[in-house]
Amino acid sequence: MDVVPCQQQRVLIVDDDDAIRKIMKQILLSDIPGLTVDVAINGMDAMKRFHAEHHAVVLIDLFMPVMNGEQAYRGIEQMCQREKWEMPAVVFCTAYNPSRELRNLVAMNPRHAMLQKPVKNDVLVEAIRSRLPPPAGSEAPPQSAADDQPAPPAAPA
């Protein structure tokens, strides 16, 4: 059975901080023509939005109330398997040290990335742009080194 592809130029930003959501959305919309950006306030909200829109890229904070980014990733992964949908590229964004399991997942799958907050505008744009599927009839964008940032500091105890 064929897998249903993601919506090509659609990104979901997931962060519990309203200012971060607004800034990231503004940056992406101004630097990537034709992009549609949706927002969610936590992992649970992200799963609902993703189910409705099937985004090509999910930019997600790791530490949020209700449902964190890693839990939302697992939920989206299960949803895609159940619905026979293409799994989106996921760009995790954190100010803390992610779990070893999550670091390994990102290291083994170049479609995903890990960014350290605060994220420079050009790094954010390139991480998203390089993971968007190419528009029909065009070539794939070159792979980016945007996820080659140093590891973030450990989470507070």
pLDDT tens digit sequence for 30-62: 999 999 999 999 999 999 999 999 999 999 999
65-69, 101-105, 124-128, 149-153: which range is least confident on average? Answer: 149-153
Domain ranges of the chain: 7-129
CATH superfamily of the 7-129 domain = Response regulator (3.40.50.2300)
Mean pLDDT of 140-151: 44
Three-state DSSP string of the chain? CCCECCEEEEEEEECCCHHHHHHHHHHHHHHCCCCEEEEECCHHHHHHHHHHHCEEEEEEECCCCCCCHHHHHHHHHHHHHHHCECCCEEEEEECCCCCHHHHHHHHHCCCCEEEECCCCHHHHHHHHHCCCCCCCCCCCCCCCCCCCCCCCCCCCC
